[in-house]
Homo-oligomer: A and B are copies of this chain.
Amino acid sequence: MPQIAFLECSRCHHHLPADTPQTLCPLCAGSLYVRYDMDALRRSAQREDPAARAVASSTSLGMWRYASVLPDVTPVTLGEGWTPMLQSKRYPGLFIKEEGANPTGTFKARGLSLAVTMAKHYGLKHLAVPSAGNAAGALAAYAAAADIAAHIYMPQDVPFANYLEGVVYGADVHMVDGLISDCARLVGEQIKSQREANTPAEETWFDISTLKEPFRVEGKKTMGYELVEQLQWTYPDAVFYPTGGGVGLIGMWKAFEEMEAIGWIAPGSKRPKMYALQASGCAPVARAFDEGKPASEFFQNAATFAAGLRVPKPYGDSIILDIVRASGGKALAVDDETILASILDYAKNEGIFLSPEGAAATAAYDQLLATGELTPTDRVVLFNTGAGLKYTDMTAEAMHLRRPGSLPKSLPVGGIITPQ
């Protein structure tokens, strides 16, 4: 595993050391990237047969198969990564990357596995996060595994599973009558007041918000390595990514840069077009893309049952827009009705139960097939960022589906109740 050479600001390219915890660039508040000595990495990184090492290990390696391009630390792992890539039954070029197979049921596990690993390495004792729901659950799980306190803030109307997992993992759970942006403000205020009160360092919370520290994006970059490896070290034509905070998309782009620099991708390979998919009820990136703007504006009255997409202004919006444009991709939004229809379509016809976020991507894919912008043989990797089952209450609500068990207890044993 490589040493970190330095942290680099994504905006002003200022360098910072990684020997103490860092948040944002002190000069311009830009997000920080982890950088390695690329010459050393080129010599040491092992693309060949990391899978064989999974067998030699007592646990399956998951995303840590890419240890040779991750910081040199002892992982806090719950088995994240190396998720299935499922070829569509109907569209030969479509591959659904099933991130619901991760611990806590979403891709958030990758970023928080690495970020909590680094927090433990730095000796941090209190981690705080504002979340649309799934990052909160993942932080709670990894913090529990690392014996670190987790302070989680999320909207009170997240999927109930997010609330339950926070409580079950023993986190300090705060349900907020507001959105992730309100949660972020509350975390910031809390940390500010701790500093003003001269709270001892070991009791002060560390803000592990996405893109406000460098390691969540670094963990999520493994999705980029993985999709390329699962396509036999080639790029697909396009990547479809449901975009709330958009950090997975940013992380994958970083992975592509690194793989090209290391030599794991054939020279001259064309990077995939990156599609950022949102819900019409909260589409700041899609709107900015349409309007040709370099950054998004705060999306008022955000509302969609795709809970993970309720991010009114992602911190990395300008990075996302840059990547989408540079790649020749698009940012698109679809409405909740279309998302729900796509959940049912892919469940009935492919056997895959998508999250609402994942179904925003499939719905957009289907639209682009219909317009002819894509063909069914174009190689597309589409991310289902979470398990459909994690949204049981939200999806059932959207379907107006009620538990049949509320029927009279007096029914005789063996009485059958068929829905509809």
Report yes or no: B84 in contact with A174, Cβ–Cβ below 8 A: no
Q: Which of A89, A161, A399 has the most CB of B within 10 A?
A: A161
Report yes or no: B161 in contact with A411, Cβ–Cβ below 8 A: no
Q: How far is the CA of A343 from the CA of B168 in the complex (A)?
A: 8
Q: Please name all residues of chain B whose beta carbon is closer than 8 Å to the beta carbon of A55 when the two chains form the complex.
A: 49, 51, 229-230, 232
Q: How far is the CA of A140 from the CA of B169 in the complex (A)?
A: 31
Binary contact readout A220-257 vs B (1 if CB under 8 angstroms, 0 otherwise):
00000000011110000000000000000000000000
Q: Please name all residues of chain B whose beta carbon is closer than 8 Å to the beta carbon of A231 when the two chains form the complex.
A: 58
Binary contact readout A342-354 vs B (1 if CB under 8 angstroms, 0 otherwise):
0110011111110
A5 within 8 A of B: no
Report yes or no: A89 in contact with B145, Cβ–Cβ below 8 A: yes
* Contact among B52, B89, B102, B182 with A51 in the assembled complex (CB-CB below 8 Å): B52
Q: Please name all residues of chain B whose beta carbon is closer than 8 Å to the beta carbon of A57 when the two chains form the complex.
A: 230
Q: How far is the CA of A102 from the CA of B100 in the complex (A)?
A: 9
Report yes or no: A177 in contact with B229, Cβ–Cβ below 8 A: no
A59 within 8 A of B: yes
Binary contact readout A165-179 vs B (1 if CB under 8 angstroms, 0 otherwise):
101111011111110
A407 within 8 A of B: yes
For chain A, the count of residues having a C-beta within 8 Å of the partner chain is: 93
A268 within 8 A of B: no
Q: How far is the CA of A153 from the CA of B395 in the complex (A)?
A: 22
Binary contact readout A396-420 vs B (1 if CB under 8 angstroms, 0 otherwise):
1001010111010101111111110
Q: How far is the CA of A160 from the CA of B417 in the complex (A)?
A: 15
A16 within 8 A of B: no
Report yes or no: B351 in contact with A145, Cβ–Cβ below 8 A: yes
Q: How far is the CA of A79 from the CA of B97 in the complex (A)?
A: 10
Q: Which residue from chain B places its CB closest to the CB of A189 in the assembled complex? A: B414
Report yes or no: A160 in contact with B392, Cβ–Cβ below 8 A: yes
Report yes or no: B85 in contact with A58, Cβ–Cβ below 8 A: yes
Report yes or no: A156 in contact with B51, Cβ–Cβ below 8 A: no
Q: Which residue from chain B places its CB closest to the CB of A146 in the assembled complex? A: B351
Q: How far is the CA of A114 from the CA of B189 in the complex (A)?
A: 54
Report yes or no: A417 in contact with B141, Cβ–Cβ below 8 A: no
Can you list 13 contacts pairing A with B, beta carbon distance less than 8 Å? A58-B87, A59-B84, A59-B230, A62-B84, A78-B351, A101-B103, A142-B351, A144-B347, A163-B403, A165-B389, A169-B348, A175-B419, A177-B414
Q: A58-B231, A175-B404 are in contact. List 20 more A-B contacts (CB 8 A).
A: A52-B52, A57-B230, A59-B86, A60-B82, A62-B84, A101-B102, A104-B389, A141-B347, A141-B353, A145-B351, A146-B351, A157-B405, A161-B389, A164-B401, A168-B344, A173-B418, A175-B417, A175-B419, A177-B413, A177-B417
Q: Please list the 3 inter-chain residue pairs (A to B) with the smallest Cβ-Cβ separation, ordered nearest first.
A: A79-B84, A145-B351, A170-B348
